[in-house]
Amino acid sequence: MTITADNLGKRYNREWIFRNFNYSFQKGVYAITGPNGSGKSTLLQVLWGQLPPSVGSILYEKEGASIAIEDIYQRLVIATPYMDLIEEFTLSELLAFHFSFKKLRKGHTLKEVPDLLELAHARDKRISYFSSGMKQRLKLGLAFFSEADLVFLDEPTTNLDKEAVGWYWRHLPVLISESVVFIGSNLENEYPDTAIKITLTDYK
């Protein structure tokens, strides 16, 4: 899977968030970096198709065939602190709902996912009663264990304690080996040393 950004730019009113962004992304990990307010989340939202660019274009391709932007959602997963979960569901219900339209990564079963999340004790607990750290681990888990060509992780360790950060780092390498992974962060401990760094302040 590849994403090619051609002269991509996004602005609100007269302020450019980024512009003249040209890049071809392939399997591996990319760290989208920059200070708070630099536009990291905006760029990710443009790349995953939620926001239209103000200028330029994005081309999605797999095995030489182009994929329409309205279909790209089928090939991606997203985990962000600002992403909402269906809080009326229990953990088991939410997992069953999510994996009714997303395939599990090979080698996993739905029954074992709570254990993989290290949330088996909360299997029948409503999401509304989860702590902020448990919710963030769940969001990451939905991304980690879904089969997807594109993975977008924005500020992935937000609300995670030391133990949960360790869990994040144990599972991240599998994603990197199989997908195009984007990590939006201004913290070096959220992405590996091997990540290709893209600094948003270079595209103002």
Domain limits, the chain: 2-203
pLDDT confidence of residue 177: 87
Residues 156-181 have a mean pLDDT of 94
pLDDT at position 178, please? Answer: 87
Q: What is the pTM of this model?
A: 0.95
Q: How far out from the chain centre does Cα 119 lie? A: 20
Fold of 2-203: Rossmann fold (3.40.50)
Contact 91, 122 (CB under 8 A): yes
Q: How does pLDDT run across 84-112, given as a tens digit for each residue? A: 999 999 999 999 999 999 999 999 999 99
pLDDT surpasses 90 at 198: yes
- Asked if 85 contacts 138 with a C-beta cutoff of 8 angstroms, the reply is yes
**pLDDT at residue 85 in the model:** 97
User: Tens digits of per-residue pLDDT, 24-33?
Assistant: 999 999 999 9
